[in-house]
Chains A and B, each alone.
Chain A
Amino acid sequence: DGGITQSPKYLFRKEGQNVTLSCEQNLNHDAMYWYRQDPGQGLRLIYYSQIVNDFQKGDIAEGYSVSREKKESFPLTVTSAQKNPTAFYLCASSIGGRDEKLFFGSGTQLSVL
């Protein structure tokens, strides 16, 4: 089955710790995205990548880092510089082009201990 796999489903971060959220897709999509969802708010774009070895900051990139070494993988690191990391994180991919649509993973809930 083609799709996007996010892991883990739940993650806890200690003070001062960096944590990495995994996102893998087998849809052969060029573009991948990371969004953050907070209660009562829409999805806010953290980072996106339209091609391997290239990525751009989204609207709320501070305190986060990404890499895109393989087409299938787009891991997100939440660094200790992110002071309010508790949120639901969603990875998405798209084929690109004019009338593209985003395909989402099932999300990772990150909480601070």
Chain B
Amino acid sequence: DQQVKQNSPSLSVQEGRISILNCDYTNSMFDYFLWYKKYPAEGPTFLISISSIKDKNEDGRFTVFLNKSAKHLSLHIVPSQPGDSAVYFCAAKADSWGKFQFGAGTQVVVTP
């Protein structure tokens, strides 16, 4: 049973526009959320995280929003750049477990 879901397998966006990636989770015990970016044949790299005590966290072009009541988070990338073309994974953790659960990923393609 997948506890972290990324329902959009792919997203195409024009360079300079906003990319919005969505992630839903089912386990209310999750209290820490992360986004990772992955290029083919490479390991994922950390992008940004958010704790459940916040509803927004910003780092440069990347902003993550958390809606606990809806069990939903989103990643905004503004402006989108060609180097942002990659697979993006959402991950969640419940502090008492110490294990990270990952979504299936969203392939982002930034077009000129």
Contact = CB atoms under 8 A, between A and B. Distances in A.
B59 interface: no
Interface of B: 2, 4, 6, 9, 32, 34, 36, 41-46, 49, 51, 89, 91, 95, 98-105
Interface of A: 4, 6, 31, 33, 35, 40-45, 48, 50, 58, 88, 90, 92, 96, 98-99, 101-107, 109
Nearest to A91: B43
A96 B43 contact: no
Contact of B34 (A33, A50, A101, A109): A101
A32 to B, nearest CB: 12
B42 A106 contact: yes
Nearest to A31: B98
A75 to B, nearest CB: 17
